Amino acid sequence: MAKKTIREAINEALRQEMERDETVILMGEDIAGGAGLDGEPDAIGGVMGVTKGLYATFGPERVIDTPITESAIIGLAAGSAVTGLRPVAELMFVDFLGVCFDQILNQAAKFRYMFGGKAKTPMVVRTTYGGGLGAAAQHSQCLYQMFTMVPGIKVVIASNAYDAKGLMIQAIRDDDPVIFFEHKARYDDAVEVPDEPYTIPFGEAKYVREGDDATIIAIGGMVSEAIKAAEILAGEGIDTTIIDPRTTSPLDVDTILEAAEETGRVVVVDEANPRCSIAADIAGLIVGHAFDALKAPVRQVTAPHTPVPFAPELERLYMPDAAKIATAVRDVVNHGK
Amino acid sequence: MQEGTVVEWLVAEGATVSVGDEVLEIETEKVNNVFESPVAGTLRRHVAEVGSAIPVGGLMGIVANADVDDADIDVLVAEFVQTFVPEADDDEARPEIVTVNGRTISYLSVGDKTSDATPLVLVHGFTGDVTSWLFNQPALAADRRVIALDLPGHGASDKFVDDGGIEYLSGAVTGFIDELGLSEVHIAGHSLGGAVAARVAISNPERVATLTLIAPAGVGSYINGEIISALAMADRRRDTRQTLQRLVSNPDLISRDMVEQFLRLKRTDGAAAAVARIASAFVEGHRQRIDVVENLANYAKPVLAIWGADDVVIPAKPAGTLPENIECHVIDEVGHLPHMEAAAKVNELIAGFLKIRSG
């Protein structure tokens, strides 16, 4: 057990699974980087450094640098998965989903169903999401709702290194297509992570914090902001529960409803744009199934309905943060008083 | 343990307290626990606020005589706040690893390694780990080195358990003691760990000075096999919480963190299978397949045995049902986890027992 960053935890998960099961292979743009050229192979280890060192151990047959063609990368993953391998493909930025979405939506997600159970697609697509690094409109989106809405796909959004390792191992062992989201600004966040392999089941939300006054449900990178907001609010005598769903598909509706009912005052935090968002989905579930326990409207703290700005001042205004979350919590706590 | 969260003050400011009175309810990463006053006097100030997290060593309250000035108390509190530095992470004992018969055993050693006093080895129970002793290890380490280990199949130790039987487990513990170069130890075990400790003690009379059994397996044939099975199978939060609540007399003691910790360990590769194998080796239906009583009859070293009166897993054995040389205690309003539910009392019993009987 040692403190490991999200980057290191995912790297360790990939390494341990590749050691355990030789059908696990990796593919993506520059996931080794430099392979085949003069100089050091595995020079890059992925644009975010997550796959560093794996090429050196497992070689070019299992760690495949691809050309820049998401439709082929994800198509390769879907095809190799359905014919017996367990690929972990990288979609470098989730913003690129447009060029490979058919492979996911109409192929991978549908194989098991349309082949009457005769096929399974045990593939993982790792992808980066989120803003805060000034990567601008085409490299900062969240878009997880676009996979969550598709039956046949599982969607994982880990908020910390401990969950990231366990959920990645679970994703690789899962026989269905899993999209594994990694926040590009959070790779250096570190917590204690066991050295041994372990799993975390999908569809199990986590109680990050417990408090009686309000419930905050936060997705991915927003969990850290929720924790900061909770500390600010604790100083004002407002004690909050924080729920981290960890997977949006399957979604742990039971825990979400239980946490909503315990306080009756709910704020959902989602970095994505507000229309058809996970926040809207969760708010709708709560209003539909826990209405009588509610003491205030369910508030959603999200980005505005605009592209992600490039200018740092505007990006800061765009991103939900602890202050905005705390304001929303005060609103629901004071509602009706 | 690094900090606790204050749940509730049980005594108002201005009220009188005696030694041992329950003063404060604290939530930890294990059970929710009650802090007993170590002094008598008037509880003049609640320093720790409800809902706040207090680090180990932090100031919780002030007890003083009624005639002490409020202003003096203010100064004391202010001084403390200014000068107090919580123990750094680095100072806290970290788990270490040894290799025993080619397999890793993880352990936590607390207390002075150079001390002459005979060290105490702690063996946790079924599905436990070193943190089972969270409320005991620091207190007992005042007198001697205290070493808690993770049994095979548990915690961070190797998950290989052979046939899951008591021979393999006690062999691993004996090997562990050898590996650490300890020529003489006291040993204490809880539940299944109690049976393991007994086996180690009985097989190594020259190395083991005393034996302490806490709600031990292997004494009496009845065990609630359904609870053991539930522990082995638990892999979701709700089931786990309900099952853990059956282990204690007061279900509110089971904190969410404790449930989370249990699941984390269970979900380590190999842990669930190891635990299942051990369960089938040690329990069949509602009958224990291990027995240490027979051996205890001829065992000449000192033995301390502690039970909770409300234990529904392995019923308490009052004095008279075991060989006479065994010192027996049954604690009221406590279930299968006396070392957590009544930690102060259990620590006192063990410390007293060890002090009288040895170095």
B103 vs A41: which has the higher pLDDT? B103
Please state, for a pLDDT cut of 70, what percent of chain A lies above it: 99
What is the average per-residue pLDDT within B81-99?
76
pLDDT value for A37: 67
- Is residue B200 a contact partner of residue B170, using CB atoms and an 8 Å limit? yes
Q: Which 8-state DSSP code applies to residue B125?
A: -
d(CA A306, CA A309): 8
CATH code, B3-89: 2.40.50.100
Average pLDDT along chain B:
90
Task: Kindly report, residue by residue over A73-91, the tens digit of the pLDDT.
Answer: 999 999 999 999 999 999 9
Average pLDDT along chain A:
96
Mutate to test the interface with B, among A15, A196, A202, A252 (most CBs of B within 10 A): A196
Closest CA to A24 of A102, A122, A159: A122
Task: Kindly report, residue by residue over A97-145, the tens digit of the pLDDT.
Answer: 999 999 999 999 999 999 999 999 999 999 999 999 999 999 999 999 9
Any chain B CB within 8 A of the CB of A250?
Answer: no
Listed by start position, the domains of chain B span 3-89, 93-357
The pLDDT confidence band at residue A35, using thresholds 50, 70 and 90, is low
pLDDT value for B86: 66
Residues of A in contact with B6 (CB under 8 A): none
Any chain A CB within 8 A of the CB of B269?
Answer: yes
- Is residue A139 a contact partner of residue A181, using CB atoms and an 8 Å limit? no
d(CA A100, CA A91): 9
Radius of gyration, CA atoms only, chain B? 21
Task: Kindly report, residue by residue over A264-295, the tens digit of the pLDDT.
Answer: 999 999 999 999 999 999 999 999 999 999 99
pLDDT value for A313: 97
Interchain CB distance below 8 Å, A207 and B256: yes
Any chain B CB within 8 A of the CB of A201?
Answer: yes
Closest CA to B351 of B126, B118, B157: B118
CB pairs under 8 A between A and B: 33
Any chain B CB within 8 A of the CB of A234?
Answer: yes
Closest CA to B244 of B304, B332, B312, B145: B312
Q: How many CB atoms lie within 10 A of CB B253?
A: 21
Residues of A in contact with B256 (CB under 8 A): 207, 210
Domains B3-89 and B93-357 fall in the same CATH topology = no
Listed by start position, the domains of chain A span 2-193, 206-334
Q: Report which secondary-structure segment, H or E, holds A157.
A: strand A154-157
Any chain B CB within 8 A of the CB of A235?
Answer: no
Residues of B in contact with A197 (CB under 8 A): 268-269
Residues of B in contact with A199 (CB under 8 A): 267, 269
In chain B, DSSP assigns E strands to: 3-9, 16-17, 22-27, 32-36, 41-46, 53-55, 61-64, 96-100, 103-110, 120-123, 146-149, 185-190, 208-214, 283-284, 287-288, 303-308, 326-331
Q: A46-60, A142-156, A252-266, A298-312: lowest mean pLDDT where?
A: A46-60
Domains A2-193 and A206-334 fall in the same CATH topology = yes
Distance from CA of A175 to the nearest CA of B (A): 18
The pLDDT confidence band at residue B36, using thresholds 50, 70 and 90, is confident
Determine the length of chain A.
337
User: Is the confidence metric ipTM above 0.85 for this complex?
Assistant: yes
CATH class of this structure's domain A206-334? alpha beta
Q: How many CB atoms lie within 10 A of CB B120?
A: 27
pLDDT at B359 over 60: no
Q: Which residue of A has its CA nearest to B7?
A: A211
pLDDT value for A112: 97
| CATH superfamily placement of domain B93-357 | Alpha/Beta hydrolase fold, catalytic domain (3.40.50.1820)
pLDDT at B293 over 90: no
The pLDDT confidence band at residue B90, using thresholds 50, 70 and 90, is low
pLDDT at A226 over 70: yes
CATH code, A2-193: 3.40.50.970
**Does this model's pTM top 0.90?**
no
Q: Which residue of A has its CA nearest to B5?
A: A210
